[in-house]
Structure 1
């Protein structure tokens, strides 16, 4: 029996709903929802990129149920971004979808009251991989000025079960990882680091068994070795999706806003 999803809760902060940002040939149109603070702006914008192992999820999924209210109150616009899931299209289609959203937002920045020079991405889990690569590879119209990762994987080329074609990363890449080494490295934030990368904040549970905390520490060390700022906020006792965390997830949203205030300039209204 198919699970019956709950009726959506009205989103009081929503300013522009179901904006079509891309129409890839042969696929469904891709959308974003935009939440903009009241006032003239221009406001810095945070692109929210959901997780779900590249196989499930929706742009309206958030870990912190008050995420939009907190960010808008701090003076940040939030764009909830669509991307194609792994059974719809293989990588790098997902990366193209994120880039299309960034390009659309920047093209319409004036009309949307957002600042084209202050774009950040915040991704969780699989969305963290997409957010990190967007931050590391974006340029000109797709440039990103700050990246926040919630328990995102850094290296897809060094995972277990390299010969299994049915793991989520293998489905994303279109075949067993052992046969997709070059593509796995292309999709791995760890292998896209360069000295001009934007600053990063990694927020990660110390007891995460899905994406180990050690992976976040290794990624941070690699960024710092290239002279890139990378702050790490350990969430003591937390597993994946901050399960078992001893702090409220809202405090982690606020920590991200503090980081953005520091690297993008004060965003509060």
Structure 2
């Protein structure tokens, strides 16, 4: 029996839909949707980067169904970013796609009422890895000033199924991890930490069997060892995608906004 995806709900906060940020030769154009608060701005912007094991998902996927409403109400613009999935293109295409979105938003910041000096990324699961890399490696017009990750993997070189060519990370990297360990390190946030990295906020379930909580702990320690601010919020009893969490996912969105208010020096902005 065919299963149909549900009809999407109208997105009340959407202001600019289907913005083409790059058109890589031989692939579909890469797009983003932008949600901007009412008013003159300029507003800080959060790039939402979806998960899905690098093989599934799109920019309209969200974990918190009120995510955009919450962030816009706090005075943040939100850009929902698409990137090429692993069976479309291998790494580092995904990194290039997010960098292209950052550059496009910064180029048009004045017209879009965005603050070019306050760009943040927020990614979940596979999108957390992509977000972290964007924050750690972006420079110039691709620079990121703050990063939030939800249960993102940080060390692709040390995952299980090292010899499996069909494991999700192997498909991302173009072959078994065991044969590409040095390449996997280049794609791993843990191995790209440096003293000039922007502040990070890691939100992670303590019972996550897909990306263990220990990964967040180790990543935080590595960032702090370089003198980089890294806050960690342990979601007690939560698995991957915050399943089984004792708190509403909306409170985690709000915690991220609180972190950004602190980083961007916006006391009382909400």
TM-score bucket (shorter structure): over 0.9
Secondary structure (helix, strand or coil) at the match of 1:157 reads helix
Whether 1:116 and 2:116 are equivalent positions in the alignment is yes
Structure 1: unaligned runs, 5 residues or longer:
none
Q: CA deviation at 1:266?
A: 1.2
Secondary structure (helix, strand or coil) at the match of 1:149 reads strand
Listed one character per residue, the Cα deviations across residues 178-208 of structure 1 (whole Å, up to 9, x for unaligned) are 1111210010000000000000000000000
Alignment-derived partner of residue 225 in structure 1:
225
* Separation (CA, whole Å) in 1 of partners of 2:168 and 2:15: 34
Alignment-derived partner of residue 208 in structure 2:
208
Secondary structure (helix, strand or coil) at the match of 2:148 reads strand
- TM-score under structure 2 length normalisation: 0.98
Secondary structure (helix, strand or coil) at the match of 1:130 reads helix
* Separation (CA, whole Å) in 1 of partners of 2:104 and 2:242: 32
Alignment-derived partner of residue 99 in structure 2:
99
Secondary structure (helix, strand or coil) at the match of 1:105 reads helix
Number of residue pairs matched by the alignment: 269
Q: CA deviation at 1:3?
A: 2.6
Alignment-derived partner of residue 174 in structure 2:
174
* Separation (CA, whole Å) in 1 of partners of 2:183 and 2:263: 31
Alignment-derived partner of residue 4 in structure 2:
4
* Separation (CA, whole Å) in 2 of partners of 1:60 and 1:3: 19
Whether 1:151 and 2:144 are equivalent positions in the alignment is no
Alignment-derived partner of residue 266 in structure 1:
266
Secondary structure (helix, strand or coil) at the match of 1:121 reads strand
Q: CA deviation at 1:2?
A: 4.3
- TM-score under structure 1 length normalisation: 0.99
Listed one character per residue, the Cα deviations across residues 194-243 of structure 1 (whole Å, up to 9, x for unaligned) are 00000000000000000000110000000000000000000000000000
Runs of 4+ in 1 over 3 A off after TM superposition: none
Alignment-derived partner of residue 47 in structure 1:
47
Give the CA RMSD over aligned residues: 0.8
Structure 2: unaligned runs, 5 residues or longer:
none
* Separation (CA, whole Å) in 2 of partners of 1:161 and 1:46: 34
Q: CA deviation at 1:265?
A: 2.2
Secondary structure (helix, strand or coil) at the match of 1:216 reads helix
* Separation (CA, whole Å) in 2 of partners of 1:3 and 1:193: 43
* Separation (CA, whole Å) in 2 of partners of 1:3 and 1:176: 32
